[in-house]
A and B are shown apart, each in its own frame.
Chain A
Amino acid sequence: MNSFITRRPIWSLIIFVLVIAAIWLVFAPWPQGFEAVFGKKKLFLNAVINGITLGGLYFLVASGFTLIFGLMRNVNLAHGSIYLLGGYFGYLAVDATGSWLFSFVVAFVVAALLGVILQVAVFRRMEGQDLRQTLVTIGISIVLADLMLWGFGGNSWQIQTPTWLRGPMDLPLVTAVKSSGEAVYLSYPIVRLVIFFASVVIGLTMWLVLNRTRIGMIVRAGVDDREILSAMGVPIQLVFVIVFAFGAGLAGMAGVVGGTFQSLSPGEDTRFLLASLIVVIVGGMGSIPGAALGSVIIGLAEQIGLAYFPTYAIVLTFLIMVLVLAVRPQGLLAGR
């Protein structure tokens, strides 16, 4: 941190000013004239918090994608299909048992099993052939998309929010001050906040596991040089299967989250694949902190764009990607 400030004093100042501005925008009640120019503070706050919580969902999908890519150099273009499949199975589980939490287990297990099958039956056979692996994942995503259309139809499905998470709660964020001097606080759906904190916990756990445990050490070593790692006697194929299963399982769980937040329908697989792609391109391929940063940036860009210039929202996301590619092609937080 200190070294960054001494190395890049100007950038540090800019970042500092931006952070202060962001804190002021979020916490202070907006003056009248300011609201006249930029619209209601409620709109802004909603967009920001929607963006951050959506970023949490993107992180769940993209972290598995980036983990698999980082370790196995495998661009899994079927990742969106795994997300959607997990969501559908989560829906079935909620429908059958009525337990929302249990559906996460079902989605994780189904997606992880699919991941294991993919890794063992497909990718192990074509190790080192990047392009062929990618083509195979495209084929698998076509097949899975059609199978899901077959099994679940073209309608959109929504997973019921459990009763104990339903309804809004007040956040300690002032949206406006009434003429009586009473502050109006922002109310926000509880379920989205809970899911966001869950994804933060998952992210931190992943970071801890990767940086503080033996298996994490093995995975990090594999990201750097898998040949040497396997030469040292580590059962690398087993590590591959575990990582693939975990990454796919995360995507499956994200499917349940997405099904609760939004809805599940054909086409969502592509949407989340695209989101994962942009997130890892922006954040840096193979980097978990990069996926976290990229997710928040893309989630914010999407929601703020949606709030202020709806028809050009996707262009904002795209411009961020282009900008990152132009300035830092390896991504914001990529190690190499």
Chain B
Amino acid sequence: MALAESRTRGAPSTASQPAWLQNVNPVAILVGAVILIMPAIASSFILTQIFGWAYMLGTIALSLMFLAGYGGTVSLAQMTIAGFAGYIVAILGVNGVPGGMGWPWWLAVPAALALSMIGGAIIGALAVRTEGIYTIMITLAIAAAFYYFTNENYAIFNGHTGIDGVPTPVFLGVDWHAPIPFYYLTLAVAVLCWLAVSYVARTPFGLALQGIRDNPRRMAALGFNVNAHRIAAYVFAALIAALGGILLVWSYGEIAPGTVSVSAAIDILVIAVVGGIGNPIGAFIGALIYAVLKTFALDFLVAFGLDGNRYRLLIGLGFLAIVFFSPDGVIGLWARWRHRARRGSPRSQPPGGGHG
């Protein structure tokens, strides 16, 4: 499986453009503009159920993409981290369960982020003791253990029913639970995380991480502490996943063990792989496809005279098809299609990276 970043930078298009525009794809500008004015054209259902949800899932999948694409370790525990952060916010903050701590959000959120990063460090410390496919097994075991624990533990996690009545905070005079503010909140977090991942990938730390992905033994010989880099990658990924998880709990107003179930953890992997695990934007493309599929599969399947409850079958088959035919996801399909189109007409403009 090609985990390496396969994106090629677009060639400078025309000299008349300002320098900062030269590497920017016109498609990206268009997509960015559409995303920004989306609240003006889409219904609040589309805004929150499709796009808001896709940004949140995409953020969590982005953390997996960072670990897998740059760190070379596939962790299935990212949804667990996200759910853990959500639980912490729900437990420490205001909630509808007797015995809530009632902390204000600006105290609960940093606490949740910090605890999630500690959790990420612990998971990382366990996972780096193993390599490759073993890591998947260990993180899957961690994810499943956390799910069963939340399901059975009533003292902290309120068991099967979970914790409800978690309000989205109101700050800066805006009720962030309303569809349009929440859309922009999720968008802002998603874009910030995407920028952070893209930036970290270019820092010395990110480059060392990619070196470790490609050849850990050589990097160790060069004097890099392989395990420390990997654990740091887990901590950074945990921060991103935790942000996504906090948004999730605000969006639903509740959190239950189902959020951190094994199938949810696997869905995050599916999202990252379907989008394209070599590129940060792939996580969001995958999340958008997943959100659309999950929301409209019912109508879609019924329209074809099939049982509407079979959306997981559809997701599974789609995932299998992607893994079989395009290991680098939808991004890879797009890149190949572009490559073929370019070869077909050599004079056409080569578009740049497909990021929005």
Contact = CB atoms under 8 A, between A and B. Distances in A.
B78 to A, nearest CB: 15
B interface secondary structure, majority:
helix
Contacts of A43: none
B152 interface: yes
Interface stretch (A12-20, A159-167, A233-241, A308-316): A308-316
A77 B134 CA distance: 12
A263 interface: no
B328 to A, nearest CB: 11
B29 interface: no
B138 A142 contact: no
Interface string A308-336: 00111111011001100110010000000
B130 A313 contact: no
A150 to B, nearest CB: 7
B29 to A, nearest CB: 33
Q: How large is the interface on B (under 10, 10 to 19, 20 to 34, 35 or more residues)?
A: 35 or more
B64 interface: no
B41 to A, nearest CB: 34
A134 interface: yes
A274 B152 contact: no
B233 interface: no
Nearest to B126: A325
B274 to A, nearest CB: 10
A135 B153 contact: no
B145 A75 contact: no
A136 interface: yes
A145 interface: yes
A314 B152 contact: yes
26 contacts: A77-B136, A130-B132, A132-B1, A134-B133, A135-B273, A135-B319, A138-B270, A139-B316, A139-B319, A139-B320, A139-B323, A140-B320, A142-B263, A142-B266, A142-B312, A142-B315, A143-B313, A145-B312, A146-B312, A146-B313, A274-B145, A277-B137, A278-B141, A318-B141, A321-B141, A326-B126
Given A274-B262, A285-B134, 20 more contacts: A73-B133, A131-B132, A135-B1, A136-B323, A136-B324, A138-B269, A138-B319, A142-B270, A142-B315, A143-B316, A143-B320, A145-B316, A150-B313, A277-B140, A281-B134, A281-B138, A314-B152, A322-B126, A325-B126, A329-B129
